[in-house]
């Protein structure tokens, strides 16, 4: 029998249907709440609000579990690649060999930007933030229709749009870095796989091709794969909200990039590095940083710590912590910031403030140290997060678009402003 929960308000009451997910998660369907009781729900930051049902990613924040399409993140981290995971997230199952080859082929075909993009890049100042460039350029992609796009079936159009976004976001990212350094753009090499091609576009010189080592390629694959989706976070919710107005997939993903930019979301990976550097240079000690975070001095928080959903170790942070040790060892890099990070983590995990609030390291705490070791400049960290998250945004956009129950996102509010009052002509105002 279908379960319900009874809600009574004054003389009105309503039986609210209880929706159960495949992992036993329960939610109240409040669709009829307002028409039956006159009430709406109030939940700033949506901490207790399910905005959709989804088949893409499962998180159990209490147990520290993360699965893409049911597959534990630890298994994917060990056995898979970013491109395979992208397919898994978007199409709901692991690809067979033909599907994966076809998708890789599409990524190669879609890697280049229209030459007119050069002028767009030139329009930015060299020190423009790469996330601003990325968001603008991802939106711009849709202004350059593919040859024959109008004849594509909806299925073909979607897969080409997806391949185009995943492939071009990497080219745009590399070009934005080259622009910031005043270096010539390096075009994608069709012979190179996804991650190696990115590193080639970032670091090759016209007469000196950059050859990334397998260790570096593996480390970057891991970082991208671990960032590929994370259910209804700020940027995924943005993709769904923008997409719900029937905006195109590029506009929706461009908006998600803007959402990711903030330091409480993807921008935290840069902020972590800056914090670790400040501690290392002696500006503040680790103990000072912990104290400032506890006291909230000038809004200071321990960056890379805490999560809305995880009240346990973020499983991605666990994987990255081990990977940081491995990658730095393989590359022979000695980074004092890794020691600072370890020290900070140890102190926080023993401090009652962090223990009581269940604040653990999140994905951003160790990812920056690995990116730094493989030569990614700090101002590109959040851009790397965006490249990794693109398949997740695409999957979320598609799921929302295909859901027959989806409606335009349009929350309500409780108005707390002035009551009705009259317009006062300017010369009669105090
Ligand atoms: N340092 C110090 N105190 C913290 C921190 C932190 N990093 N995070 C949370 N708190 C405290 C917060 O002050 C509050 O304390 P109290 O109950 O005394 O008011 C309590 O813990 C609960 O915090 P909240 O702000 O209500 O939690 P939230 O779910 O709204 O915020 C968060 C989650 C990730 C924005 C927050 O933990 C934070 O700002 N962390 C630092 C930024 C960061 O690392 N962001 C990356 C998140 S993971 C990557 C991603 O998905 O984007």
List, for residues 194-253, the tens digit of each pLDDT value.
999 999 999 999 888 989 899 999 999 999 999 999 999 999 999 999 999 999 999 999
Tokens matching residue 403: 């859901």
Per-residue pLDDT at 18 exceeds 90 = yes
Rounded Cα distance, 386 and 253, in Å: 10
Per-residue pLDDT at 1 exceeds 80 = no
Tokens matching residue 65: 């579990």
**Using a 6 Å cutoff on CB, does residue 164 contact ligand 1?**
no
Look at residues 317, 312, 92 and name the one whose alpha carbon lies nearest to residue 227.
Answer: 317
Does 364 participate in catalysis according to the annotation?
yes
Tokens matching residue 155: 């299925």
Q: Check residue 380 and report its DSSP letter.
A: G
Does an H or E element contain 292, and which? Answer: helix 286-295
**Residue 283 banded pLDDT, cuts 50, 70, 90:** confident
What's the pLDDT score for residue 299?
87
Residue tagged 């990711």 (tokens) = 260
- Is the separation of the CB atoms in 261 and 271 below 8 Å? no
Rounded Cα distance, 378 and 270, in Å: 6
What's the pLDDT score for residue 83?
98
**Residue 285 banded pLDDT, cuts 50, 70, 90:** confident
Rounded Cα distance, 252 and 268, in Å: 22
If you measure from the C-alpha of residue 276 to the centroid of ligand 1, how many angstroms do you get, rounded to a whole number?
18
Per-residue pLDDT at 316 exceeds 90 = yes
pLDDT tens for each residue of 326-345? 999 999 999 999 899 999 99
The residue-averaged pLDDT of 89-115 equals 97
Instruction: Name the β-bridge partners of 111.
Output: none
Q: Which CATH number describes the domain made up of 4-50? A: 2.20.28
Does 218 participate in catalysis according to the annotation?
no
3-state SS assignment for residue 288: helix
If you measure from the C-alpha of residue 246 to the centroid of ligand 1, how many angstroms do you get, rounded to a whole number?
32
**Using a 6 Å cutoff on CB, does residue 95 contact ligand 1?**
no
Per-residue pLDDT at 268 exceeds 90 = yes
The residue whose C-alpha atom lies closest to atom 18 belonging to ligand 1 is: 357
> If 0-12 CB within 10 Å is exposed, 13-18 middle and 19+ buried, where does residue 101 land?
exposed
Average pLDDT in the chain: 94
Tokens matching residue 13: 């009451």
The residue whose C-alpha atom lies closest to atom 32 belonging to ligand 1 is: 307
Q: Parse the chain into domains and list their residue ranges.
A: 4-50
Question: Among the atoms of ligand 1, which is closest to the Cα of residue 301?
Answer: 1
If you measure from the C-alpha of residue 188 to the centroid of ligand 1, how many angstroms do you get, rounded to a whole number?
39
Per-residue pLDDT at 282 exceeds 90 = no
In the set 307, 314, 325, 403, the catalytic residue is 307
Instruction: Name the β-bridge partners of 6.
Output: 15
3-state SS assignment for residue 106: helix
**Using a 6 Å cutoff on CB, does residue 66 contact ligand 1?**
no
Rounded Cα distance, 411 and 283, in Å: 44
CA 318 → CA 68, 164, 215, 256, distances in Å? 17, 32, 19, 26
Q: Where is mean pLDDT largest: 71-80, 140-149, 361-370? A: 71-80
If you measure from the C-alpha of residue 258 to the centroid of ligand 1, how many angstroms do you get, rounded to a whole number?
20
What's the pLDDT score for residue 22?
97
């Amino acid at each position: 029998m279908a379960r319900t929960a009874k809600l009574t308000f004054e003389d009105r009451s309503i039986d609210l249907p209880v929706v159960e997910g495949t992992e036993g998660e329960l939610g109240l369907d409040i669709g009829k709440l307002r028409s039956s009781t006159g009430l709406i729900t109030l939940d700033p930051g949506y901490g207790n609000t399910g905005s959709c049902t989804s088949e893409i990613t499962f998180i159990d924040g209490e147990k520290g579990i993360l699965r893409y399409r049911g597959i534990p993140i630890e298994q994917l981290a060990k056995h898979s690649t970013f491109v395979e995971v992208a397919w898994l997230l978007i199409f709901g199952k692991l690809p067979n060999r033909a599907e994966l080859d076809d998708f890789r082929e599409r990524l190669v075909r879609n890697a280049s930007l229209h030459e007119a993009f050069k002028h767009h890049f030139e329009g930015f100042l060299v020190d423009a933030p790469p996330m601003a460039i990325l968001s603008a350029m991802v939106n711009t992609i849709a202004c350059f229709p593919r040859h024959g796009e109008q004849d594509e079936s909806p299925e073909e159009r979607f897969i080409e749009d997806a391949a185009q976004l995943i492939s071009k976001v990497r080219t745009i990212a590399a070009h934005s870095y080259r622009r910031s350094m005043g270096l010539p753009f390096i075009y994608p090499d069709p012979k190179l796989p996804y991650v190696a091609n990115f590193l080639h576009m970032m670091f090759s010189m016209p007469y000196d091709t950059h050859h990334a080592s397998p260790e570096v390629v593996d480390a970057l694959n891991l970082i991208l794969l671990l960032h590929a989706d994370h259910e209804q976070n700020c940027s995924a919710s943005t993709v769904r909200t923008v997409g719900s107005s029937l905006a195109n997939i590029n506009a929706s993903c461009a908006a998600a990039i803007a959402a990711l930019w903030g330091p409480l979301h993807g921008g935290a990976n840069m902020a972590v590095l800056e914090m670790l550097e400040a501690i290392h240079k002696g500006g503040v000690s680790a103990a000072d940083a912990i104290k400032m975070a506890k006291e909230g001095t000038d809004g200071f928080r321990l960056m890379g710590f805490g999560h809305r959903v995880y009240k346990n170790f973020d499983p991605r942070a666990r994987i990255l912590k081990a990977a940081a040790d491995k990658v730095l060892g393989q590359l022979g890099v000695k980074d004092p910031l890794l020691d600072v990070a370890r020290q900070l983590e140890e102190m926080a995990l023993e401090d009652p403030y962090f223990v009581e609030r269940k604040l653990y390291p999140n994905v951003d705490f160790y990812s920056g140290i690995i990116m730094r070791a493989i030569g990614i400049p700090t101002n590109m960290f959040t851009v790397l997060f965006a490249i990794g998250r693109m398949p997740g945004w695409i999957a979320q956009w598609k799921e929302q678009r295909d859901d027959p129950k989806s409606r335009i996102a349009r929350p309500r509010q409780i108005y707390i402003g002035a009551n009705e009052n009259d317009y006062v002509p300017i010369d009669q105002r105090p």
